[in-house]
Structure formats: C-alpha cells, structure tokens
Amino acid sequence: MKRGARTAGGGLSPHVRLWLVTAGDATPFGQGRWLLLAAIDRTGSLRAAAAELGVSYRKAWGDLRKTEKALGVQLIETRRGGRDGGDTRLTANGRRWLVAYGRFRARVERSVMRAFAATFKDLQP
C-alpha cells in the first residue's frame, strides 16, 4: 500500500509502514532492508542493489551489518572481486528472512485492508 494510493472507486486507502524491532527498540528489519535483500538477490551485487535503491554502498553495507548483529544471523555472503569480479549472495538465512518478511507484510496488508473496509465502509462515497 503506497502513500496516497487510491482505491478503485477513487476513495481513500490505508498506508502501512511495518518494522520489526528488538526489545531495545532497535529496528533490525523493515521494508528498506527487505527491498535491499531482494535487490541483492536479483543483481548478485550489494553495490548494484544499493544503486538500484538510491542509497549509498556504505549505508547499505552498514544497515545489513546492523541487521545481522540484531538478528544474530548472517544474511549475505560476499566474494571479493578478481578477474571475474566479486559478488554478493543471500545466505540460506537471508533467503528465509526475505521470504518470511514478504509473506508477513502481505498478510498484514490484507488484514489492514479488511479492517479499513469494515471500519470506513459507511464513510466512503
């Protein structure tokens, strides 16, 4: 659900931002890191993924390191460049987090849309 999105009838629709936080209120995982993992999976490169998302390589790398530390799992593995160039791949844990967050987000969005429809049905034109 995107900010300012409209329903088919031209009415309002909800916009949800979803983060997973730790007890210390750190934000180890949310849409930005999910999109970063998806871009790494597509491109095979942290640098290309960061560029695709419009963030610096340094920020992307730092965000992933913070997330890995907070979650206690390795999400990516890198191979340094050489004659054939380097690459970045998701680990098995990285792939599980990518899939799980996508499923969770879809479920939350469906629930929010149902709640929105039930709550505001009499107020929509």
CATH number of the CATH domain containing 110: 1.10.10.10
Residue 111 included in any domain? yes
Tally of domains within the chain: 1
**Over the range 95-118, which residues count as b (16 or more CB within 10 Å of their CB) and which as e?**
eebbeebeeebeeeeeebeeebee
Residue 45 included in any domain? yes
Residue 4 above 70 pLDDT? no
Residue 1 included in any domain? no
25 vs 102, which has greater pLDDT? 102
pLDDT interval class at 12 (50, 70, 90):
confident
Start-end of H helices in the chain: 31-43, 46-53, 57-71, 92-120
Q: What is the pLDDT of residue 8?
A: 46
For 12, phi then psi, to 5°, come to -85, 160
pTM: 0.82
What are the pLDDT digits (tens) for 36-54?
A: 999 999 999 999 999 999 9
